Chain A
């Protein structure tokens, strides 16, 4: 059995990758179902909110509508963002420039934008593994929102 070592190693590797792949498929399926469910909930909530709106005045938003710019230090240099506020809500955050950031990290860090829009606030957790870049985006958004407040 000259190749027994090779066979054992290869089998363990295939097994480990197989487990991760199967897990990932199951989790992705579950996530999709969860998303469907959440979108239904959101629909119902929006419907309820509209019904309530007709009865009372909606609370005024903290932010004025407009497009605001802000920048802050990321990992290697400045990150500049453009924040769009529509009907008092943060609807989009775009990276205007982040020339010095490492691409793989920046892509990862951009996930912080999703949570900012979801939470309607820049007070969100940093993205693990891309702490510095995502904190840079966060701080830049905070900077931009300062102009939107008041």
Chain B
């Protein structure tokens, strides 16, 4: 008990500043990637799909930009946890925007005290759906049936909208699904990412080295502020392995009164925000190299 009492607790003012700085840096990084690499997630997904289509065709796996995008996003996730999901993925950032707007509408327009959030009990079992979705897509690609789904892809609709082209003919199924996904993101932060995203299913299996971890021994008993701030309702484990569902957004780390949650690389780079910027710069450089950037 003596030892625990000596651990500094961040003051309310410090916490407020920490959360504000984190929110600003994250929004800036997300916006930058949304503008520069809006199709990075889709390129990775197309790479995954094309592996199974190649196997079906009996031809060698093609090493083009899409496969490189898959390799880059997977390698990044293995090394740093799901930083890609939390900071880079344009669809995730779009979901954060929807969730933010939904909150503003609920509190400002309808004068609700708190934004409605799908309770953990309802959301936890839904996380399995994304693995089924991934399996479904792999099977469809593997049997050469993927072309039959044309027009039903939520991401095709999204890509048309981000390209500002709005040629949505023949995509009615996709538009309906897109509306459902928007509704989902409005009632559950990152609802699509944790319940449906096929890449999210793949990425949840991958983190091996650098995902966020919590120093549970130093925690205040019964605190769970991290869980309340987490889009996926996680109470992180001390061991970085069991945290595959963690989207790597670091909202918990910014809100922790004892600053108990950190990435392993923060042993080298003390500041969590500096670590975020370095990782973002690294992804940007590698992504540009393989042609994911719209401008270079």
Instruction: Show the binding face of A for B, using Cβ within 8 Å.
Output: 5-6, 9-10, 13, 20, 23-25, 27-28, 30-31, 73, 75-76, 102-105, 107-108, 125, 128-132
Contacts and interface: CB of A to CB of B under 8 A. Distances in A.
Interface string B225-240: 0000000000000010
B18 interface: no
A106 to B, nearest CB: 9
Contacts of B291: 102-104, 107
B30 interface: no
A129 B52 CA distance: 12
A73 B54 CA distance: 28
Contact of A102 (B39, B47, B208): B39
Contacts of A108: 46, 64-66
Contact of A131 (B54, B58, B156): B156
Interface of B: 39, 43, 46-47, 49-51, 53-55, 58-61, 64-66, 68-69, 78, 146-147, 150, 156, 159-160, 163-165, 167, 206, 208, 239, 241-242, 290-292, 294
A92 to B, nearest CB: 21
Contacts, number: 79
A75 B163 contact: yes
Given A20-B51, A107-B64, 7 more contacts: A24-B60, A30-B58, A76-B164, A76-B165, A102-B39, A103-B65, A129-B46
Contacts of A107: 64-65, 291
Nearest to B49: A129
B43 A104 contact: yes
B261 to A, nearest CB: 20
Contact of B53 (A10, A75, A128): A128
B90 to A, nearest CB: 12
Nearest to A32: B60
A136 to B, nearest CB: 11
B163 A129 contact: no
B49 A128 contact: yes
Nearest to B40: A104
Given A10-B208, A23-B55, A24-B60, A128 B146 contact: yes
